[in-house]
Structure 1
Amino acid sequence: MQLPHNPSARQDAHWWPWIAALLIAALFAGIGLRDPWPADEPRFAQVAREMVESGQWLFPTRGGEFYPDKPPVFMWLIALFYQLTGQLKIAFLLPSALAGLGTLWLVFDLGRRLWGENVARSAVLVLAFTPQFLLQAKAAQIDAVACFWITLGCYGLVRHFLLGPAWGWYAASWVAMALGIVTKGVGFLPALMLIPLAIWRRPVTASGQQVWCMRTWWGPTLMLGTLALWLVPMWVAVERIQSPELLAYRDNILLRQTAERYANAWHHIKPWHYYLSTALPSMWFPLVVLFLLQIRSIRKLWPSSVALRVLLSWVALVLLFFSISPGKREVYILPALPMSALALAYVWEQAPEKGRRTASLLLRGALAVVGLLLMLLAAMALFAPDRLHHRADDYADAIAALAPGLLILGLALSSIVWLLRKRALFEQLALASLLTWLFISFWLWPSLNTHRTPRAVMQELEQSLAPEAEVGMLEFKEQFLLFASRPLVHFSYLAPLPQQEWNAWRWIRSAPNRVLLLPDNLALQCFDLTKKRVLGEAHRRNWVLLDASAARESCGRAVDRVPYRYVPVKKDILLSN
């Protein structure tokens, strides 16, 4: 349905290709300029690296130990791009960037088909200026890829039920849900859209074609069949090998990391209202403000637009689904963002000029204030750096390097408010967001990279040890595997510290030339930390070496476990700065 032209929108067609090109540039900017950063990126990058090194892709491993926390699709994608590019520093960010690009296209195309190109462009701009979207599209976390599959699932259902029938897209939506489940367990979320569709979409279209019929049941069957392409080989391999580690992997990934994690979460415990009171205002600003200011327009459009009712009802169901679980994180609600952006774009394009004036004044003022604050921060970094160092002591040397860029960015954001005052609000906000992300990608990332990796600690370790020395780790982190140029031994990431310590004590005493790498703030019973050799600081912790002389004569017994030994084969990440 094409909407009538809105003369105040000022989104001229000749501007759109430039903004779209800038958005694509922002998505891919900075790839290759930084290493994987904690908390999650080193883990996924290392798992993908081990897939390529070992040729074993069915069961993800981390330092040789099976990794059961997440399904494998995201790691498969990183591994695929690693094989294609030969550079882990490039490959680890590509899946999220491409998923972000795909999500943008799906939202644009669906908006164009539902309500015309003005709404489609506005929806893309909303995604561009909502912080969470580009934050995840430019990070090597699972959520951007999961969001793409879920958006594709919603796209297929809307194409079929509201714009169809389109049985091909209906089938594609269920395949996308299956791929979403094998990426992150919540890939089934588009199925919740069937509830509002069942309420507001009749089985037969105005032209007499059926969208609800017996063929509808093929969708869940197709989803289960797609899931079986991963589940059956994995299950068969586990049953054939029957190792305790693989049995634990299967049970963990199919039960503990899905139903148990949702119903009885063991971390990230938040109150029921966390998404409404904290996550949405921070990660979806200014989208939330725009929605609140357009409540009257939404109420006016609600009776006449089935698509609006379906999209907003689905968003509400997703928020309800995640609010029920005691475990909550901001990234969980990312899949609801694309459909929220599309609904807001439609409401905004239909809103009267008077209804948009308040939002425009408020958000343009906020943009000007942000620009001013950035300039003040830059001035403080240049002329009074001591005031900032105590707040960001770990990044003291990076603050001065960032000051010129912060000044330029602050001037640019303030200039957008004045120089582009006759342009549409969404264009201004999107341009400000994209310039910020270009600054982050080309200036901030390279400046902070040395502070976000253990490269210096691992280089010091190499200089301190003889080539034949063996290195073990207590409480190991994946980033240390990434930057290791020699084999590393660890005592199970999943084991509690007392069990790791017991097995490390046995290991270091069983052969000469063995040392332990560990943070110096661990409460150890089997080792004398006064005999440590300091290597340096990484990730806000001091890292030290202990040799066999630091092992005490006795150690309380724990469960015996064979140590894991990871031998780095592909070392391309060590060759980049």
Structure 2
Amino acid sequence: MHDTLHQPLSTGATPSLSPALLWMLLGGFILLTLATLGVRTLVPPDEGRYAEIGREMFASGDWITTRLNGIKYFEKPPLQAWMNALTFTLFGPGEWQARLWTGLCGIIGVLMTAWAGRLVFSPRVGLYAGLVLASSLFWLAAGQINSLDMSLSGMMATCLAAMLIAQRDAATAGQRRAWMLLAWAAMALAMLAKGLVGVVLPGAVLVLYGAAARDWRVWTRLHMGKGLLLFCAIAAPWFILVAQRNPEQPWFFFVHEHFDRFLSPGHQREAPWYFFIVLLLPGLLPWLGWLPHALAAGARRRPGRFQPRLLLLIWFAFILVFFSMSSSKLPGYIVPVFPALAMLTALCLDDAGRRPHMAAAALLAVIGALLVAAAPVALATGRGGVAPELLRSYQPWLIAAGCILLGGGGLAWFYAARVRRDPAVLTMAVAGFLATHLVVAGFEGYGKERAGTALLPAIRAELTPSTRLYAVGRYEQSLTFYLGRPAILVEYVDEFGFGLQQEPHHALSGLDEFVAQWQRGGAAGLPGLAIASPAMYELLRQRGVPMRLVARDRRRVVISNQLTKGLP
């Protein structure tokens, strides 16, 4: 019995699943990933912001100077905006169009991770790596969100996979050159996605790997000359052109947005040093039970010059530590670690005996049961500014996800107990994939309330081509995209601070100027519409500013300077 518990569940490097089933799984993964991109509202701030930057680029035809609400916006490079503007050009503005690039990046990351696992380790490890990454909660969810995290992570996953394939001991000279050039191209795109981290992180990992493995010859196998030329050919043109047109951009982007943000608090993104370690626990579901084994696997040295397991471990550990040291922390920062974790987990799934598989499946079933039991209690009352009815509407989705995890964990345990590893792994992957989609889709109730889309019919009924639209005390990241027009800022700066220094005419000097302009327009029959915070609305009401209430919700109030509806 002892030997049975510890022996591998099956032998051989090739999975027992039929090729037809594998192709069906791949097709289902891609189709469902793409089909669900448009089922939810674009949630502010990030989804609305990056959709609007792409929409303004698409509308203006200026693909060099990135703008938000018509104002210069240089916090991030343009890759996401380019891709969104391209999809808007091809398919028109919309929700799935705004998420198409991030969805494709998630798919590319899974395919590259699976291919690297196949070529560097074995076909079974490649299959498992793809299954793990495609079903990991953080990776899957990030691919459904229009933000920069998956844009960066997809390119970094491509870089990591290409580097592993190029550096493997069995690679020919031609293969090494081709795959390293792909790695350099992916680094360039990663830099265009989110800045210097796209270069700094892979470079630092290579330095640490060379020291840990005593493999300094790896630097002679990078094709650095050709690689640097390719990198510069891809990444440099935009930085040169945008600096020529906007001389203020280089300092703001490279100094303020990189070094100041990393080193200085005050960006309202502070969190304790262990923030990302805690986030790994839900982020790796349904594979949480394999995390200790995966990290241990990375530390085991194998025969050969190149040590891919060690490189994967350093990739994971360095990126985790790097962002943990930053003064600015957001959950999406650690998405790039998951391809490395997926390959390390796949190695454990391939090597482990029956007992670890049964334990991991049992843990997944327990987590599912806890989710089913805890969701009604945890979401029974409003908290964190979220209305109780919104939290209650989320309960069925979480309960359904918990049931899938419970059932998937139980079925995977059944397969593992009968020494059927491939079905056990596949069952856990499918359970994680479906449960994550339910968790993300169920967010729609909160997303709509956060974005304020229920107000769109009332706003559109008031808007005319001559209507002046104001943002008073708040800026609506998503409503601006849905309305397809920027707003004049009043008593709001936040992320527009640097852009308004360059172009102050995009905002009014203060509330007094707004009130004067508002009243002049109303008296002259020039329509004006304002989206204000509730506090600002009360202040305007106390000042006796003439206005008509158009619509409101818990977060915003819409007012018109035309006191009778239907005036020109």
TM-score by length of 2: 0.80
Which residue matches 2:3?
A: none
Q: Does the aligned pair in 1 maintain the 2:297–2:309 contact within 8 Å?
A: no
Q: Does 1:179 align with 2:182?
A: no
TM-superposed deviation, 1:79: 0.7
Separation (CA, whole Å) in 2 of partners of 1:284 and 1:414: 16
Partner of 1:331: 332
Q: Give the superposition deviation at 1:437.
A: 3.9
How does 1:194-205 map onto structure 2 within 5 Å? 194-199=206-211, 200=213, 202=215
Does the 8 Å contact 1:509/1:548 carry over to 2? no
- Do the aligned partners of residues 35 and 486 (structure 1) sit closer, same or farther apart at CA in structure 2, a change above 3 Å counting? same
Shift of 1:366: 2.5
Q: Which residue of the other structure, out of 157, 163, 169, is the alignment partner of 1:157?
A: 163
Q: Structure 1's 548 and 194: CA in aligned 2 closer, same or farther, altered over 3 A?
A: same
- What amino acid is the match of 2:389? A
Q: Confirm or deny: 8 A CA contact 1:372 1:414 kept in the other structure.
A: no
* Aligned-partner residue type, residue 49 of structure 1: R
- 2:227 aligns with 219
Q: CA RMSD in A?
A: 3.6
User: Cα deviations across residues 483-538 of structure 1 (Å, max 9, x unaligned)?
Assistant: 33777433575259995435424533554444533112249978736656444444
What's the secondary structure of 1:471's corresponding residue?
A: strand
1:324, 1:356 → 2: CA distance?
Answer: 34
- Say if 2:68 is the partner of 1:76: no
User: What displacement does 1:436 show?
Assistant: 2.2
Match of residue 557, structure 2, among 543, 547, 551: 543
Post-superposition offset of 1:87: 3.8
When residues 56 and 296 of structure 1 are mapped into structure 2, their CA distance, relative to the original with a 3 A threshold, is: closer
Partner of 1:122: 128
The amino acid of 2:483's aligned partner reads A
Distance 1:284 1:506, change over 3 A: farther
Task: Give the Å deviation of 1:180.
Answer: 0.8
- The change in CA–CA distance for 1:149 and 1:472 in structure 2 (over 3 A counts) is same
Please give the alpha-carbon distance, in whole angstroms, between the structure 2 residues aligned to 1:82 and 1:95.
11
Structure 2 residue aligned with 1:236: 244
Greater shift after overlay, 445-454 or 223-232? Answer: 445-454
1:482 aligns with 2:481: yes
| Structure 2 residue corresponding to 1:12, chosen from 13, 16, 21 | 16
Q: Deviations over 1:441-498 (max 9, x none)?
A: 7x63666664343333243245467885533221222222223377743357525999
Separation in structure 2 between the aligned mates of residue 331 and residue 286 of structure 1, nearest angstrom: 18
Which residue of structure 1 lines up, in the alignment, with residue 149 of structure 2?
143
Match of 1:451 among 428, 449, 452: 449
In the TM superposition, what whole-angstrom CA distance separates every residue of 1:299-347 from its partner, at most 9, and x where no partner exists? 5x33557111111012211122212222112211111110111112113
**Does the 8 A contact of 2:205 with 2:315 survive in 1?**
yes
Between stretches 502-511 and 138-147, larger displacement belongs to 502-511
Residue in 2 that maps onto 1:552: none
Label 1:347 to 1:469 Cα distance change in 2 as closer, same or farther (>3 A). closer
Residue of structure 1 in register with 2:180 after alignment? 170
Distance in 2, matches of 1:398 and 1:328, equals: 25
Q: For residue 103 of structure 1, report the CA deviation from its aligned partner.
A: 0.4
In structure 1, give the amino acid aligned to 2:477.
E
Structure 1 residues 363 and 31, CA, compared in 2 at 3 Å: closer, same or farther? closer
Aligned equivalent of 1:90 = 96
Q: How does 1:84-483 map to 2 (within 5 A)?
A: 84-163=90-169, 164=171, 165=173, 166-185=176-195, 186-188=197-199, 189-199=201-211, 200=213, 202=215, 212=220, 215-238=223-246, 247=248, 249-267=249-267, 268-276=269-277, 278-293=278-293, 301-302=300-301, 304=303, 306-371=307-372, 377=376, 388=380, 390=382, 394=387, 396=389, 399=392, 411-419=403-411, 421-422=414-415, 424=421, 425-439=424-438, 444=442, 450-463=448-461, 469-474=467-472, 475-483=474-482
The AA in structure 2 aligned to 1:191 is: G
The 1:168/1:211 distance shift into structure 2, 3 A limit, reads farther
C-alpha distance in 2, partners of 1:394/1:111?
45
Does the 8 Å contact 1:107/1:342 carry over to 2? yes
C-alpha contact (below 8 Å) 1:46/1:481 kept by paired residues:
yes
Aligned to 2:566: none
The structure that is helix-richer by fraction is: 2
User: Which deviates more, 509-518 or 122-131?
Assistant: 509-518
Query: C-alpha separation between the residues in 2 aligned to 1:19 and 1:153?
Result: 25
Residue 80 of structure 1: CA displacement?
0.4
Q: 2-side partners of 1:292 and 1:284: how far apart?
A: 12
Cα distance, 1:38 vs structure 2? 1.2
C-alpha distance 270-407 of structure 1, shift in aligned 2 (>3 A): closer
Please give the secondary structure, in 1, of the residue aligned with 2:114. Answer: helix
Q: Distance in 1 between matches of 2:475 and 2:44?
A: 13
Cα deviation per residue 1:390-411 (whole Å; 9 max; x = unaligned)? Answer: 56974738956x7776666555
Tell me, what secondary structure is at the counterpart of 1:472?
strand
Would you say the 8 A contact 2:9–2:352 is kept in 1? no
Letter in 1 for 2:210: A
| SS at structure 1 position matched to 2:532 | strand
Between stretches 223-232 and 327-336, larger displacement belongs to: 223-232
Of 508-517 and 39-48, the range deviating more from structure 2: 508-517
- Structure 1 window deviating more from structure 2 (358-367 vs 334-343): it is 358-367
Deviations 1:5-62, CA, capped at 9 Å, x for gaps: 8518996313533433332233113233333221211111111111111111111111
Alpha-carbon separation, structure 2, partners of 1:53 and 1:295: 48
- Report the secondary structure of 1:270's partner residue: coil
Structure 2 residue runs of 5 or longer lacking an equivalent are 1-6, 501-506, 564-568
- Whether the aligned pair in 1 keeps the contact of 2:294 and 2:341 (CA below 8 Å) is no
1:567 is aligned to none
- Give, in whole Å, the separation in 1 of the partners of 2:330 and 2:282: 12
Residue 151 of structure 2 aligns to a residue in which SS? Answer: helix
Does 2:50 correspond to 1:44?
A: yes
Give the Cα separation in 1 of the matches to 2:222 and 2:339: 30
Partner Cα distance (2:250, 2:294) in 1: 48
Cα distance in structure 2, aligned partners of 1:177 and 1:264: 26
1:389, 1:291 → 2: CA distance? 33
Q: Which moved more, 1:347-356 or 1:326-335?
A: 347-356
Among 498, 512, 519, the alignment partner of 2:533 is 519
For the 8 Å contact 1:27–1:97, the answer to whether it is kept is yes
Q: Count how many residue pairs are aligned between Structure 1 and Structure 2.
A: 519
CA distance in 1, matches of 2:205, 2:251: 30
Tell me by how many angstroms 1:126 deviates.
1.6
Question: Quick check: 117-126 or 494-503, which moved more?
Answer: 494-503
Equivalent residue number for residue 565 of structure 1 = none
Q: Which amino acid aligns with 2:451?
A: T
Q: Shift of residue 275 of structure 1?
A: 1.9
Which residue of 1 is the match for residue 503 of structure 2?
none
Residues 11 and 118, structure 1, Cα contact 8 Å, conserved in 2: yes
2-structure distance, mates of 1:43, 1:192:
31
Structure 1 runs of 4+ with >6 Å offset: 402-407, 523-527
| TM-score in terms of structure 1 length | 0.79
